[in-house]
Amino acid sequence: MNCLNVDLLEIILARLPIKSITTCNLVCKEWKSIVESEFLRELFLSHHKKSHSSWSLICTESKKEVLDHLKYNTLRVVAHTDVGLILICLKSHYLRRTYYVANPISRQCVEIPRPPPPPPATRLRIFRPVPSGLVTKVENGVVIGYKVVVMNTSNIIDVITLLIYSSETGLWGFTTLHSSLLLRRIVWHNPVNVNGSLYWLGNKQCNPAIQVVVSHDFYAESDLCQVLDFPDLDNKADFKSSK
């Protein structure tokens, strides 16, 4: 394929819907290289400035699995992001779960290495890790990184123990977050995900009937959680997510 044909193909592809572009991956290796090129990504974004940054949903990592090859009855979606990526896991014992970050449009996913066992100091206490969220790092409408967040749901008062996988390092790590307010519990599932932060519902230790919002920016250097009260607590203290 000569340069003129390549340029023409890139212009045509950039005007197509994202689902059609991802299908072109299957034509041949040369088309796949064009589809995954940074130039086509920028051309697509400039042509679709007013639309959602769908290009950020494309996975280009070499280590990926096609969802069709997995048994759907063994999978469940455990988290999703504001850019469309989802976190799924194979149903099994929590210490042997396998996680995947999936792209629903291209039907591809990246297998995440299995989490390590808890450190010796943590094993002395009850350790119940559950998948809580998936956060992404986005620049110019393109996903450049993500983190898988697994929470220890036991013994949450002013310290929150997390297992976090980073796509940038390819490693899991234990992280301890500190809350400015004593908490009775955190509703670990279905947090709101916005711009690299997770927002959970929580309950105060001093008054479990009162709910608060607990948040953390996973791309900030701070290990502190923000705790926010809902407005008009005197009239309504029990809030439910609209998701």
Same structural domain for residues 132 and 217?
yes
Q: How far apart are CA 109 and CA 91, in angstroms?
A: 16
Q: pLDDT at residue 192 above 70?
A: yes
Per the prediction, the chain carries an average pLDDT of: 73
Q: How far apart are CA 153 and CA 52, in angstroms?
A: 35
| In a domain? residue 242 | no
Same structural domain for residues 135 and 23?
no
Cβ–Cβ under 8 Å, residues 165 and 171: yes
Give residue 204's pLDDT: 77
Q: What is the arithmetic mean of pLDDT over 182-203?
A: 81
Over the stretch 230-242, which tens digit does the pLDDT of each residue have? 776 555 555 554 4
Same structural domain for residues 21 and 108?
no
Same structural domain for residues 10 and 105?
no
Q: Residue 138 burial (CB < 10 Å; 0-12/13-18/19+)?
A: middle
Give residue 242's pLDDT: 46
Q: From 181, 171, 18, select the one nearest 107 (Cα to Cα).
A: 18
| In a domain? residue 110 | yes
| In a domain? residue 172 | yes
Give residue 64's pLDDT: 39
| In a domain? residue 25 | yes
Same structural domain for residues 36 and 78?
no
Same structural domain for residues 46 and 136?
no
Q: How far apart are CA 241 and CA 127, in angstroms?
A: 27
Q: From 167, 110, 109, 142, select the one nearest 39 (Cα to Cα).
A: 142
Same structural domain for residues 27 and 108?
no
Q: pLDDT at residue 32 above 60?
A: yes
Q: pLDDT at residue 148 above 90?
A: yes
| In a domain? residue 152 | yes
Q: Look at residue 154 and give its three-state secondary structure.
A: coil
| In a domain? residue 74 | yes
Same structural domain for residues 81 and 22?
no
Same structural domain for residues 76 and 166?
yes
Cβ–Cβ under 8 Å, residues 165 and 113: yes
Same structural domain for residues 118 and 196?
yes
Same structural domain for residues 98 and 177?
yes
> Considering its fold, how many domains does the chain have in total?
2
Q: How confident is the model at residue 149 (pLDDT cuts 50, 70, 90)?
A: very high
Give residue 232's pLDDT: 62
Give residue 63's pLDDT: 34
Q: What is the arithmetic mean of pLDDT over 88-108?
A: 73
| In a domain? residue 237 | no
Over the stretch 33-58, which tens digit does the pLDDT of each residue have? 777 777 777 777 666 655 544 444 44
Q: What is the arithmetic mean of pLDDT over 63-92?
A: 66
Q: What is the arithmetic mean of pLDDT over 201-216?
A: 80
| In a domain? residue 241 | no
Q: Look at residue 132 and give its three-state secondary structure.
A: strand
Q: pLDDT at residue 60 above 50?
A: no
Same structural domain for residues 115 and 179?
yes
> 86-90 and 129-139 as β-strands: parallel, antiparallel, unpaired?
unpaired
Structural domain boundaries, residue 41: 3-51
